[in-house]
Amino acid sequence: ESGNVHVYRLSNQYEFTHVHKLEGHIKAVCGLQFALRTHGLILSSAKDGTARLWRKGQSNAVLKCDITDPTARKSKAPKRRSTRPPQILVRGCAFGDLEGKVVFTVASGRKGKAFLTRWMGQGPSGSDYICQERTAIHDFPISAMNLSGDGALLALGAVNGSIILFDAQKWKKLRVWPEVHELPVTCIAARPYPTPLQGEEEDGIQFHAISCSADSQMALVTLMKRGPRNKRSSSSTGGGKSGKRIFNSLLYLSLVSWVFYQVGQETLEVCRDDMGFRCFMDNVIIAPPTRPGILVPPH
């Protein structure tokens, strides 16, 4: 909330060592990221309208985010300027590559549209970042953002509970799930890699994002179409039904064989001297009514 970023080193499983205190943001920090291949490079975003890059404890670059719509037509009529500029909230940030040369930020005001921006590092040191593209991503402010491990898929959650999946490479919106949550999305995670995760090969469904919200619920969304998913499910279910059918048939055959075996043993024991049909029916299958105790209980 103070705008400071504290960096700790994990010495072992239980000990943390304070390394840096990064001062620069003047309002609450909303997002943090480490560059995987560039040692000591950290990205942060805050409610002061900026994203900052830090290298080994020092400020390396400041990205001033904009929330003006690049596709809006300029009006010829002069507009009355507001005496107070709108507050810009940069609630999400992410490195678009392993070296930290590509940066994504999502910014908005307290109300209204949210804008996704792609920044590219320039110069020999790569510390000069320029805005390469900016687009309106949603009609409501974005409250959570995450980039997949392969840098291809952006998952975003909005304050109205909606979930958006965005193709970071083709720079286009893939799908929007409106108002999945009843309250703002507080955290979201994109699918790490396109390869199947544990348990997905059995179900045949690949989830592309998981989100949680202040409504105490979690949501999983998928880009898979309903047709192929049902086809895979039906084929999987059909295979399961076929296996159950074979198992039931084998069980039925075993029971029938056991019954015939018992009847055969009883027949050999009782009708050893007289192997006729009458002996088999009267002594093994059904007792005759003339036998004592059948029609009238014995006294």
Domains in the chain: boundaries = 231-285
- Residue 205: the pLDDT is 84
Single out the residue of 137, 128, 152, 143 nearest to residue 63, CA to CA.
Answer: 128
d(CA 92, CA 204): 32
d(CA 159, CA 139): 10
Pairing relationship of beta strands 172-177 and 185-190 according to DSSP bridges: unpaired
Predicted TM-score (pTM) of the model is 0.70
282 three-class SS: helix
Task: Collect the ranges in the chain with pLDDT lower than 50.
Answer: 228-234, 236-237, 299
State the number of CA atoms in the 13 A half-sphere of 280 facing the CB.
8
H-run or E-run covering 130: strand 128-138
State the number of CA atoms in the 13 A half-sphere of 109 facing the CB.
11
Question: Which 8-state DSSP code applies to residue 192?
Answer: S
- Residue 39: the pLDDT is 83
- pLDDT tens-digit map of 86-96: 899 999 999 99
| Residue 268 token pair | 């050999």
- pLDDT tens-digit map of 55-86: 988 999 999 999 998 887 665 555 566 567 78
- Residue 130: the pLDDT is 94
- How far is CA 156 from each of CA 77, 106, 167, rounded to the nearest angstrom? 36, 9, 11
229 three-class SS: helix
